[in-house]
Amino acid sequence: MRLKKARITNYRSVRDSGWIEFEPNKTILVGPNEAGKSALLKALQQINAPSDIAGFDALRDYPRGSYNDITTKRLKPEDIKVAVAHFELGDGDKETIESEFRSGTYVCGRNLDNSWWHDLEGVPERATTEELKKDLARFAAHVDSRQKEGETLPSKELDGILAAYKDRNYYVQDELATNLVAWLEKHYALVEEGNEKEEERHTRLLDRCQYAGRLKTARLALRKRLPVFVLFSNYFRVRPLIHLDHLATRVEQNLLDDAQYDYGNQCLLKLLGFTARELSNLGKATEPSVKDADAQKKYRDQLDNRAYQLNAASVRLTDQIVKVWNPNPERAEASRLRITADGQYLKVVVEDGLGVEIELDQRSEGFQWLVSFFVVFFSESEDNHANAILLLDEPGMSLHALKQRDFRNTISILSESNQTVYTTHSPFLVGPNELDVVRVVEMADRKVGTKVHTTITAADPAALLPLQEALGYDLAQSLFAQQRNLILEGLTDFWYLEATAEMLRVGGVADLNDKIALISANTASKVVYFATILIAHNLKVAALLDSDNAGDQAAKQEVLVHRLGAKRILRTMDFTDPPRPRAEIEDLLRDVLIPLAATELGIDIAAEAAATPEKPLVDLLTAKGGANFSKYKLAKAYVRWTRDHSAQDLSQTERDAWAKLIAAINAALK
């Protein structure tokens, strides 16, 4: 059974969430702080919470601003719906009910007073007294005509059954249905033999009167198969040292004042298959006399059983944790989890690659969180929470970003058998291909309350921040797709180089290595950052910088020189003829761009360029064109020009300069 959609109303900050559509496996809720994400999960859990989870409390959970409606009796908690859910039936669910109900959707909900209701939608509606009235009257008239004289007419009996149901339209169910079925069966013998019309009427009436009972049976069968909603909070932690006798006493005397504190420990014991008292008693047991062989064997069997179960749990947890913590075997930290019992103490320790054991609380917060998560999940799913719906509130916030990304894959695996809903602020827990499973939670107006958007939309830009960051990270990751990378100062440099290199390749003049990725850093000052990140990924990197002031400053940065080396920092001045001390990439195309600027931008600098050939082209265009000049417009005009021209339309000086530049780029990144 899978959750299809749900609606939360009248719960804390959520006045009406609207219908929230859920994916079959994984659904992600994103939104800013105080938007109501945690409240949504807590309310969802109440659809079918574990038995030890407290229900709704009107004082604490009803929207505080409207609480007077409860105290003044204008509204009754039993009439206030809080959580309503629709479930899609699985193959196993369908096998437990009759075929006429298998196309239905199971619907259930919980009210503020914790009363519970359920139904099946998409199946025939229950019969009503109004629906059956005419058929019952005709059948009664038929059997009346065949009743023996002096005996009570069937129609009189029918009037008695329906007497209490004449003021309005009633569903034919419960006592009414039982009485009508008994009446129909009692008088079936009076149906004229061979009268197909009345035979058919009797069959139809009997089926409709029995339908409510069949529907009730189907609902009850599905109720038993309803998944339990397991909410995992960051507060649930497994403690590294548990005093068994003290814990057992608190459990037995119901002294667990801080349920969150002990919840992780109790889950650990459930996973091990022991109660705190059982392990405590084993720690107190004294070895029997060697003369009593049976007692000796029983004592050893108890200790071995404890040791084997502790070992099995340790192995299982270690296996799952390593998949997230050490996904790369070559760089594994060899962290092995061990659960041991020593007298009255249950210890959780971690063995590192050197074989040294340290307590769990001495490891990082992220590692502790991961251990606690798997302990709670495995223990709950082993019990009556198998095939549970897993609700995770801000999972993995203490994990490193890259381990969050690994944990995201773990969630995907878990969600194949346990439908999962989780909230997050982290872009690393939202995959670039997972935008369709994201639901945006926001509270733009406290009077309106929390709203959930199935589409990627929100009035508050902060609600979309994790998605923007996730897409930005994915875009950044595309930088690492090629082994060879040339960093350019800006987008226009990218356009000039890409368009010109293609012209020269087609013309057979020069061939830029197609394995080289061209990357725009947006400004010269950011070239060093791009270079540092790319080199950290063991990629080959070179940079092409203009010879203006910004390019000079970037080229002289010690970090950049150290990262790339002088041979991989290329300057445009080195490829102009004659050399121009402050040359930019446009100066490698002066013969084309000067007339192009005149025709496309209306800025004619032919005379100025002839009079001052050493002056950069961009400076001349800026001085003459002022606000009308745009480097982007000029670069776009050049790209359009290359579509209709070939390398032969470049001057010999330009072809030589660009051939020299392309050869230098290939050599720097060979």
Encode pLDDT of 525-557 as tens digits: 888 878 877 777 788 899 898 888 877 787 777
pTM for the full model?
A: 0.65
**Alpha-helical regions (H) of 522-588:** 527-536, 549-555, 558-564
pLDDT bin (cut points 50, 70, 90) of residue 95 is very high
- Over 60: is that where the pLDDT of 34 sits? yes
pLDDT, one tens digit per residue, over 37-90 is 999 999 999 999 887 788 999 999 999 888 999 999 999 999 999 999 999 999
pLDDT, one tens digit per residue, over 458-489 is 555 555 555 555 555 555 555 566 788 898 98
pLDDT, one tens digit per residue, over 100-147 is 999 999 999 999 999 999 999 999 999 999 999 999 999 999 999 989
Tokens coding 558: 């010690």
Q: How many helices (H) and strands (E) does the chain have?
A: 24, 20
The SS3 of residue 569 is strand
Q: What is d(CA 310, CA 273) in angstroms, rounded to the nearest whole number?
A: 9
Instruction: Provide CATH code, domain 1-124+389-475.
Output: 3.40.50.300
Q: Are strands 420-424 and 389-393 parallel, antiparallel or unpaired?
A: parallel
- Over 60: is that where the pLDDT of 328 sits? no
Residue found under tokens 């065949």: 146
Q: What is d(CA 13, CA 425) in angstroms, rounded to the nearest whole number?
A: 19
- Over 50: is that where the pLDDT of 330 sits? no
Tokens coding 374: 């798997």
- Over 90: is that where the pLDDT of 367 sits? no
- pLDDT of amino acid 618: 92
Q: Are strands 116-121 and 484-488 parallel, antiparallel or unpaired?
A: unpaired
Are the beta carbons of 170 and 125 closer than 8 angstroms? no
- pLDDT of amino acid 478: 56
Q: Among 205-214, 223-232, 376-385, 617-626, where is mean pLDDT lowest?
A: 376-385
**Cα four-point dihedral sign 515, 521, 525, 531:** negative
Question: How does DSSP assign 391-429, residue by residue?
Answer: EEESTTTTS-HHHHHHHHHHHHHHTTTS-EEEEE--GGG
Q: What integer is the mean pLDDT of 178-195?
A: 94
Are the beta carbons of 118 and 106 closer than 8 angstroms? yes
- Over 90: is that where the pLDDT of 332 sits? no
pLDDT top residue among 215 and 563: 215
Tokens coding 502: 């293609």
Domain ranges of the chain: 1-124+389-475, 129-218, 233-383, 482-668
pLDDT top residue among 378 and 33: 33
Looking at this protein, which amino acid is placed at residue 208?
A: R
Are the beta carbons of 668 and 512 closer than 8 angstroms? no
Q: What is d(CA 141, CA 155) in angstroms, rounded to the nearest whole number?
A: 7
Are the beta carbons of 20 and 402 closer than 8 angstroms? no
Q: Residue 613, Cα to own-chain centre: how many angstroms?
A: 60
- Over 70: is that where the pLDDT of 426 sits? yes
pLDDT bin (cut points 50, 70, 90) of residue 569 is confident
pLDDT exceeding 90 applies to what percent of the chain? 44
Q: What integer is the mean pLDDT of 279-300?
A: 78
DSSP state of 526: G
Q: What is d(CA 657, CA 652) in angstroms, rounded to the nearest whole number?
A: 9
pLDDT, one tens digit per residue, over 2-28 is 999 999 999 999 999 999 999 999 999
Q: What is the CA radius of gyration of the chain?
A: 38
pLDDT exceeding 70 applies to what percent of the chain? 90
Beta partners for 11?
A: 14
Provide φ and ψ at 651, rounded to 5°.
-70, 160
Omega before 578 within 30 of 0, i.e. cis: yes
Cβ count near 440 (within 10 Å): 23
pLDDT, one tens digit per residue, over 236-261 is 677 778 888 888 888 888 776 555 56
pLDDT, one tens digit per residue, over 585-619 is 999 999 999 999 999 999 999 999 999 888 999 99
* Best CA proximity match to 47, nearest among 38, 36, 56: 56
- Provide the CB-side half-sphere exposure for 275 (13 A, CA): 8
pLDDT top residue among 99 and 364: 99
Provide φ and ψ at 496, rounded to 5°.
-60, -45
Q: What is d(CA 43, CA 17) in angstroms, rounded to the nearest whole number?
A: 11
Sequence-distant (≥ 6) Cβ neighbours of residue 477 within 8 angstroms: none
pLDDT, one tens digit per residue, over 490-518 is 889 989 999 999 999 999 999 999 889 88
Residue found under tokens 């809720």: 29
- pLDDT of amino acid 331: 45
